[in-house]
Structure formats: C-alpha cells, structure tokens
Amino acid sequence: MPDISPQDVANKLLSDGFTRSGPVASSLSDPIEDTPMVVTLDELRPYELDPRLTRNPLYDDIKASIRERGLDAPPPITRRPGADHYIIRNGGNTRLAILRELWSETRDERFFRIACQFRPWPERGEIVSLTGHLAENELHGGLSFIERALGVQKARELYEEETGKPLSQSELARRLKADGYPVPQPHISRMQEAIQYLLPAIPTVLYAGLGRHQVEQLTSLRRAADRVWSARNRQAHSHLDFPTLFQDVLALFDSAAGGFSVQRVQDELVGQMADLLDMEYDTLLFEITDSDRRWQVLSSEPAGEPESPPAPAPSLSSPSTASTGQPSSPPPPEQTSTTPSAPTAAPPAPGPEESDDAQRATLLQEHIVSPAGTTERLQSIQRLVADHTGETLPDFERNVLQSIPIQAGSLYPITDVWYIEPALDDPDRLRTHIAQFAREIAGEAALQDLVEACQEGIGFRCRQPEAEPTPDRHAQATLALLHALSTPYLATDQSVTSIDLSILTEMLGALLQGTPAVTGAQQGLPHRLSDNALVKLFRLLRLARRLRDIESGIADGDHAITGS
C-alpha cells in the first residue's frame, strides 16, 4: 500500500464527508470538578450578596501586601449556570477590589490575570455562597454586628424561598450551623431587633462598628422601657407612641461610634419619658431597670410549690430593693433530694447521708454573720430571675469559702460582700452606699455625725471631732481609718488635715483583729470592730475599688441595662 502524504490526509479530512453538521458551541462548558484556571478582571465580578457593606478595616494592609508580593491566596471562583461572568465564591471581594485599584494604578499584568481555583456551582448555590462569605469574612477582618445581622436576614430569606415556609429562629440557627456558619438563637433575636428598631435611627453608629454588647444593652433598654411605657401611658394619656419616642431619642446620638454611650441614651430616654408621664426620674429609672425581673416574677409560678399560697411580688417602695436594686436575702442554696423534711415522730438514727447534711449545715452556719430571713418561694423567684436575665447568682453551698453571703443589719443589707448588682453598678449609687456604710461603721463609735456624704472622691469625708468630750482611742482610730480611706481622693479644699492618722500605727491591728489579752487587760483598751462593722468595711472597700475602676477606665462602667 503506497504511503499517504500529509497533504492527502488533510484533503480527505476537508472533504464533504467530514464537514460539521451539528451546532457550534459559542463557549466551553464549565468544569464539573475543582479546576485551576486563569481569569482576567474583565471576566470576574464581586459577589452581589456580600455581607460586607463597609470598607474592610485591614484594606490598606492587604493592598500593601498584594502590591509587594502579588496575590498569595487567590480567591475561589464559581459561575452561576448560564451566566457570562465568574463571581467570587466565598470571601475575596476585598482582594478583587484591591486588584482593580492596582491594575488601574500600575497597568501591571500580574494584577489583571489571576490564577484562581474554579469550583462548580452547587445545587444550593446562593445559600452556600452567602454562608461561605459570612464565615470567610469572620476569619479575615471581621464583620460589624449590623453587617452580620443583615447577612443572617438575607440567609433567612433564601432558606424560606428554598423551603416555601417561614422559619423560626431556632430552625434558622439549625440551618446556619448545618451550612457552616453557627449563630446561637439568642443572637439571632438580637440581630432582628437591631434591624427593626435600631438601624432606622442610628445607621451611622451601627455601620461604624457598634459592638454586640452595646446593641444588646440598647435592645434590652427598649424592651424594658416599652413595658413601663405601656403600663404608665394609660394613666398619662400621652398621644405619642413609644416606638416613635424611642427612635426620636436614639436618632439624637447617630454620630461616630467612638463617642456613643448607652448610658447617655438611657438618661435622655428616661428624662423624656419622665416628662411625658409626669413621674420622678429616679422612680422611672428604677422601674425600667427592674421591669424585666418584676415581669418574670409576676408571669411565672415557681415549680415544686403547687400548694403554697402566692407571695406578694416585691414592692417598688421596699427600702432594701428600691435603694440598692438587689434582693435583701442571700443567694439561695440549691435544694437537693437528700435534705430531710421535718419529722412528725421521733427521728431514726442518722444515716451517712443525713450525717453529711448535718455537717454541711453546721459549716454553712459558721460562715453566716447573722441570719437572713428567706423563703423557698423567694429562692425560686431569685433562680427564675437569674435564669431569665442570664445572671449567675453566687452559689453559697458550692463556694462557701469564696462567696460568703451575710446579713449585716443596716440600711443596705449585704447579701454578698463581692457581688455587685447591675442596678448598683453606677458611680452615684456606689458613692451613696459607700457613704452609708462609712456612717454605720463610725456609728459604732458614736461618731456617725462626723462622716458626711459628698459627690466627690469615694462618696464621703470626715470632720474633726469637737474638743469636748474627747473620743476614746478606739473611736479616734475608727475615724482615722475612715479618713485614711477617703481623703486621698478628695480635693485639697475638701479634705480635713487636722485628723491625726498616726494613731493607726498603734491601733490598726487592734481595731481590726482585737487587742492582745495582756495588753488589753493592762491598759483597759476597748474591743475591736464588731463583726457587722468589719463586713461593712469589706463591702465599702469592694464598692470603692469598683468605683475607682469605673472612673479610671480600667473596667467598662457602662452597665445601663444588663441582663434584661
């Protein structure tokens, strides 16, 4: 058979029998597997539903890195079926914007042609892309709270289109977690409230990066104030509805997030509500702060007490509650099944468990200065309030050597030396309590009139006693101790310099711990501070340290409404 030349082969292939008869594809189909490919900026566009709406805070750093090193981590790309352009699949819109800037500035080809990893468009493409962008943005530069909220809201719309029915918050949280972007249900609730009630009034503050903690404070403030307004407005007959009032007040503070203060919003809102409702500011503030707890008490029946008659709800005029914002009894110990009930006949010999209970009860009693009256119902109410507000009450039984609830008789009963209720965590209220404790400590030496409350320092200052009669050394040491605690924080013209502090060199140990038996017998020295006064001193120091932290900026003092 003779050899066929290449020209003969070409002629045969171009003959009529080999001509194309089918349609000609205008472009190649997309790969069905992950495939590396090179695309140009003309072929690539950002993802339209990108949750990031503001400039990435790391934009300049990323741009400098790409300018010097090139694109170390090209973004993954994909393409919707039938589309004529590629899009960023998840996370990468910032890099794409930077590449466009650099290409415009330099015309360097390495910024125009990009080696990317193509991934096929999945069956649930829109949802997968959106949750992917949400997750990727959290890892690189972070999103503001409102950007996350709007992204989750868009995801909810896509899920509802997919299922054809509305989704509850719990179901939305489950689906987001399954798609790789877990968000707890309480956060979803806060996000929806922020979009509905906060975004129309303070968009500048939210887009500037207002954090989750402050958003939660604002939403809690709105709900608590709305309940009080609904209850009080029926009597005041005001024609202004609360949503309008709240948004008008909030809009006054729509400026840079750095100067935003929830406390200032609360003060303005309470002030305007007080005027419209014809109420005292302090009374209304207390009702708003405490409304969540009272609502929980009134709307919930504690479990395990079906036969107990209902106890009255805490009164707003109760001295211990209205003044301090904290309950007048210690945090309740957990009731266990091993606690014996009151016997009606002669009790049997105690077993090992009952013996352990008796020893534990003895240990607890040894750590109580004076008994604090309480009831099982009040304990149940305290637990319900703590569960509702998210607070953690000190567990006396479990932390007996760390947290020592007591009931030192005073105007402000102490339920725990260390724990500070959110309603008390304010400089003015702290000063009021500190001054009262100082007066009561001085009262044991009959010098309470020499302690004056003031709005400077830690809340009180001491005066020099009159010449006659001269206080005894115990009283002088007590006054000197209080003076030493308060005077460093007072202005020079407010401080008394004539109180002798040198007596503390000799008397401080005896004042706090007691005098040695021999010395006391020889010199007839008085007794040390009583246990109640010592507990009040500990509480005074705790509150003063917290006050200094707030005013020096060491800790966040902006607890306008916490845990509601």
**Per-residue pLDDT tens for 318-377?**
333 333 333 334 444 444 333 333 333 444 454 555 555 665 565 555 555 555 555 566
Residues 6+ apart with CB under 8 A from 411: 319, 323, 436, 440
How far are the Cα atoms of 225, 291, 322, 376 from residue 315, in angstroms, in the given order?
Answer: 19, 12, 8, 18
Q: Please give the residue that has the higher pLDDT: either 282 or 328.
A: 282
Please tell me whether residue 451 adopts helix, strand or coil conformation: strand
Judging by DSSP bridges, how do beta strands 77-78 and 35-40 pair with one another?
unpaired
| Cα(259)–Cα(61) distance, integer angstroms | 26
Tell me the mean pLDDT in the region 258-268: 86
Residue 493 DSSP code? T
pLDDT for position 186: 86
Pick from 302-316, 399-413, 479-493, 498-512: least confident: 302-316
Report the predicted TM-score, pTM, of the whole model to 2 decimal places: 0.46
Handedness of CA 90, 91, 97, 99 (dihedral sign): negative
Alpha helices in 326-391 (DSSP H): 352-366, 376-389
Please tell me whether residue 240 adopts helix, strand or coil conformation: coil
Indicate the pLDDT class of residue 256, thresholds 50, 70 and 90: low
Query: Is the pLDDT reported for residue 435 higher than 90?
Result: yes
Residues 6+ apart with CB under 8 A from 194: 145, 146, 149, 206, 215, 218, 219
Indicate the pLDDT class of residue 407, thresholds 50, 70 and 90: low
Using CB atoms within 10 A of its CB, is residue 336 exposed (0-12), middle (13-18) or buried (19+)? Answer: exposed
